Structure 1
């Protein structure tokens, strides 16, 4: 828990009823991740790599640094804007994985930090819901694309 003087940490979490290895792979392998989050990636997440993710429906992309990949346990990245996001994968049973996503390092005015944190929390919740639907039921819900279908900055 943060105090009033600390920069906030945003957390989203979801139980996905699949084995930890399968859930972890869905977040490091862009062939799977593109089914529920971004539309294009320059590569698989590996410690020390730089990866470009694209959301073509919105005309946006970001370059990120992969800080840590611990198979079936943890992924930590740094976005181009300086925030860091960490996924932790905790097996709860043979076919259950608790996924927690935490983002820290927000900068700017109080209003800017709060706005970005709220957007990130909502976004990661949608990503986790999409991952759950895809991994548990094989359904691509298009949640990210349909969140703001008319928000493409190139229109």
Structure 2
């Protein structure tokens, strides 16, 4: 069994605007990386993300970027003493030709088939689901859903 999942949400904004809300560290810090993001998501870059619920910035390697369409990241697996990375793929697609709506999908894979790998994947699946809800609230309404959520 391969430990992999995909979460998605429809955002009522054009793909470019939604993509920039993820790729731009200032925008990402407004609703997701509650401790801040440093570095734009550009192919070949290593950026730093920090979360109030997981204090201490950690590196995120940017593997591939296709503007307004796709971002591929690698980061350390979320499990104790992990010595391997998992891959996150984000896609941004206009909904049925409607340039004003975007389907955002986030898939994560590469988890080890162990109890701690399964637990780590579940934790990250929850986090990415929350990220999509926070992205939608921020981009569509300017609301930060994560503010105070983990303190």
* TM-score interval for Structure 1 and Structure 2 normalised by the shorter chain: 0.7 to 0.9
Alignment of 1:95-114 (within 5 A): 95-107=100-112, 109=114, 111-114=115-118
Candidates 70, 73, 77, aligned match of 1:77: 73
Structure 2 unpaired stretches of 5+: 78-84
Task: Quote the RMSD (CA, aligned, Å).
Answer: 1.5
CA distance in 1, matches of 2:14, 2:109: 27
- Conserved 8 A contact 1:9-1:104: yes
Q: Quick check: 1:91–1:97 contact (8 Å CA) kept in 2? A: yes
Tell me how many residue pairs correspond in the alignment.
Answer: 141
Q: How does 1:46-65 map to 2 (within 5 A)?
A: 46-65=42-61
**Normalising by the residue count of structure 2, what TM-score does the alignment of the two structures yield?**
0.87
**Deviation of 1:57 (Å):** 5.0
- Indicate the SS of the match to 2:42: coil
Contact 1:10 1:120 in 2 (8 A): no
Pick from 30, 34, 41 the counterpart of residue 37 of structure 2.
41
Structure with the larger strand share = 2
Which of 8, 13, 18 lines up with 1:18 in the alignment?
13
Structure 1, unaligned runs of 5 or more? 1-5, 150-155
Is 2:92 the counterpart of 1:89? yes
Corresponding residue for residue 81 of structure 2: none
TM-score after normalising by structure 1: 0.85
Runs of 4 or more consecutive aligned structure 1 residues displaced over 6 Å after TM superposition: none
What corresponds to 1:126 in structure 2? Answer: 130
In structure 1, the residue corresponding to 2:26 is in which secondary structure?
helix
Compute the displacement of 1:108 (Å). Answer: 5.5
CA distance in 2, matches of 1:84, 1:90: 20
